């Protein structure tokens, strides 16, 4: 005869408490021990072995063209502040005045707590600056591209994307759930062939960087717009690195080529590069902007940028439109470095702009070169996969309007020494 356990059985309340305890322990394990669950340590070890691991260098101060790291003064050659406006006294003053009036932050999304008049004013100025009907502010360029592409495209659409487009465009394409057709870099024949086979899709969208951020070359926008017209497509241009730098009054790459087509052209631009602030915008037709206000999730569901940033951006647009001297100095500095570095035998790819890639090939070599330049007081970091393709590691040198000729001559001399040491020249 089987023995009957006479131990007291847990009551329903005790069972519930035990269940809650087990649930709590399980949740804590999941929350506090992700490294063990996902083998993150192993992935980090693999990155270190491949020389692809990254660390954040802590900058203690920045003045003009120099930064201080661990007490050392270094010449900065890796900034997107192309016109030096981030430190312009007019921008700083306008931002401080706006902060005193409006506070440090916006407190909510614009559709929740209303739209600060500074945002409205800036959007009107940006639309005029880009010669479009309207514009809409986003918190970052990344969020602008994600919001724009995911709002415009869906499963019944196709997006044609240059293989060297920025990561924000790549992720925006993925998020849209549209079919994505990646064409080889600036290969217009390949793009045309793909467009000819895309008639069955509801919407056809071509998206490209205007000035490619890692290569410094410019997209053939006239031919891209021609293809868009021929195949009833829309052309989205990410002008993050051309805004403020190229075209009459710094209006960007589309103005550089003298293009106009309000029905087919959509422009994304940033405030955080040549304009020296933070944030981004999309410029296009009024219908497009109204649509994005209602459909772009990265606009709808996020807190607006601080009003002080909008005030600084308004000041930046004033300066860019009125002061051609900054762009002229940038162009002079760019031409000098291109001439000097090419004469030494460096491979600068197809760059003709302020973004100058010094091709190294292997990640290890690029890192070693960056370390050697750091020893000489030059801050110029290595760019490695996945930011660039495999075996295409490089030093991404950027020149600004603030660099003096003496500073640039110092950079050329340091690169000559480094290039010879590592067999590039």
Lowest mean pLDDT among 46-50, 94-98, 183-187, 418-422: 46-50
| In contact, 208 and 224? CB cutoff 8 Å | yes
- Rounded Cα distance between 138 and 271, Å, is 10
For 419, the token pair is 């290039």
Q: How many helices (H) and strands (E) does the chain have?
A: 17, 14
Q: What is the DSSP string of 348-400?
A: -TT--SSEEEEEEESHHHHHHHHHHHHHTTEE--EE-TTSS-TT-EEEEEE--
Half-sphere exposure of 416 (CA within 13 A, CB side): 12
Q: How confident is the model at residue 420 (pLDDT cuts 50, 70, 90)?
A: very high
- Among 300, 322, 344, the domain boundary falls at 322
Q: Report the domain count for the chain.
A: 2
Task: Name the pairing type of β-strands 280-284 and 265-270.
Answer: antiparallel
> 247 and 346 share a domain?
no
Model confidence at 47: pLDDT above 50: yes
> 175 and 98 share a domain?
yes
Model confidence at 2: pLDDT above 60: no
pLDDT of residue 52: 86
Torsion sign over Cα 246, 249, 254, 258 = negative
Q: Which residue has the higher pLDDT, 10 or 106?
A: 106
> 276 and 344 share a domain?
no
pLDDT of residue 18: 53
What is the radius of gyration, based on Cα positions, of the chain? 26
Model confidence at 421: pLDDT above 50: yes
- Indicate whether 160 belongs to any domain: yes
- Rounded Cα distance between 408 and 264, Å, is 41
> 152 and 287 share a domain?
yes
pLDDT of residue 50: 86
CATH number at residue 367: 3.90.1150.10
**pLDDT tens figures, 359-392:** 999 999 999 999 999 999 999 999 999 999 999 9
Q: Go through the chain and tell me how many residues it has.
A: 425
pLDDT of residue 17: 54
Phi, psi of 97 (to 5 degrees): -65, -40
**pLDDT tens figures, 223-266:** 999 999 999 999 999 999 999 999 999 999 999 999 999 889 99
For 162, the token pair is 């240059």
- Indicate whether 168 belongs to any domain: yes
Average pLDDT over residues 396-402: 98
- Rounded Cα distance between 315 and 95, Å, is 9
Average pLDDT over residues 178-192: 98
pLDDT of residue 27: 45
pTM for the model? 0.89
| In contact, 210 and 182? CB cutoff 8 Å | no
- Rounded Cα distance between 424 and 365, Å, is 10
**Which residue range(s) make up the domain with 409?**
61-79+324-421
CATH number at residue 231: 3.40.640.10
For 120, the token pair is 């409205």
- Indicate whether 53 belongs to any domain: no
Beta strands across the sheet bearing 265-270: 134-138, 280-284, 265-270, 234-238, 204-209, 158-162, 179-183
- Among 322, 339, 366, the domain boundary falls at 322
> 413 and 266 share a domain?
no
Q: Where are the beta strands (DSSP E) in 175-319?
A: 179-183, 204-209, 234-238, 265-270, 280-284
> 317 and 339 share a domain?
no
- Indicate whether 6 belongs to any domain: no
pLDDT of residue 31: 47
Beta strands across the sheet bearing 382-383: 355-361, 393-398, 382-383
Residues labelled catalytic: 213, 241, 273
**pLDDT tens figures, 87-136:** 999 999 999 999 999 999 999 999 999 999 999 999 999 999 999 999 99
Half-sphere exposure of 379 (CA within 13 A, CB side): 18
Q: Which of 260, 110, 238, 97 is nearest to 173 (CA)?
A: 238
pLDDT of residue 11: 56
Question: What is the percent of the chain with per-residue pLDDT over 90, rounded to a whole number?
Answer: 84
> 318 and 353 share a domain?
no
């Amino acid at each position: 005869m089987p023995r009957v356990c006479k131990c007291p059985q847990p009551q329903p309340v005790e069972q519930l408490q035990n269940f809650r305890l087990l649930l709590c322990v399980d949740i804590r394990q999941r929350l506090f021990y992700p490294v063990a669950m996902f083998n993150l340590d192993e992935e980090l070890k693999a990155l270190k072995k491949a020389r692809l691991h990254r660390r954040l260098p802590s900058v203690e101060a920045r003045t003009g063209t120099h930064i201080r790291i661990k007490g050392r003064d270094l010449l900065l050659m890796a900034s997107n502040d192309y016109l030096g406006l981030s430190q312009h006294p007019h921008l700083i003053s306008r931002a401080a005045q706006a902060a005193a009036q409006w506070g440090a932050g916006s407190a909510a999304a614009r559709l929740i707590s209303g739209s600060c008049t500074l945002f409205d004013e800036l959007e009107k100025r940006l639309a005029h600056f880009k010669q479009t009907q309207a514009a809409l502010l986003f918190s970052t360029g990344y969020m602008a591209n994600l919001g724009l592409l995911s709002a415009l495209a869906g499963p019944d659409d196709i997006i044609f994307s240059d293989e060297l487009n920025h990561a924000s465009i790549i992720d925006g394409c993925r998020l849209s759930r549209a079919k994505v057709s990646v064409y080889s870099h600036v290969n217009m024949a390949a793009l045309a062939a793909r467009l000819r086979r895309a008639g069955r899709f509801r919407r056809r969208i071509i998206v490209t960087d205007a000035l490619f951020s890692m290569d410094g070359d410019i997209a053939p926008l006239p031919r891209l717009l021609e293809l868009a017209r021929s195949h009833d497509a829309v052309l989205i241009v990410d002008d993050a690195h051309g805004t403020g730098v190229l075209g009459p009054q710094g209006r960007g790459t589309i103005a550089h080529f003298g293009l106009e087509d309000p029905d087919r052209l959509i422009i994304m631009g940033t405030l955080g590069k040549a304009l020296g602030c933070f944030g981004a915008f999309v410029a296009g037709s009024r219908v497009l902007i109204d649509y994005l206000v209602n459909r772009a999730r990265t606009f709808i569901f996020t807190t607006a940028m601080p009003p002080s940033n909008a005030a600084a951006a308004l000041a930046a647009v004033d300066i860019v439109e009125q002061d051609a001297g900054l762009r002229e100095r940038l162009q002079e500095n760019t031409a000098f470095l291109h001439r000097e570095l090419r004469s030494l035998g460096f491979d600068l790819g197809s760059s003709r702009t302020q973004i100058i890639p010094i091709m190294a090939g292997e990640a290890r070599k690029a890192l070693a070169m960056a370390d050697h330049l750091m020893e000489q007081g030059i801050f110029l970091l290595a760019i490695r996969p996945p930011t660039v393709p495999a075996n295409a590691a490089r030093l991404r040198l950027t020149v600004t309007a603030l660099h003096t000729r003496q500073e640039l001559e110092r950079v050329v001399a340091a690169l000559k020494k480094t290039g010879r040491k590592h067999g590039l020249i």
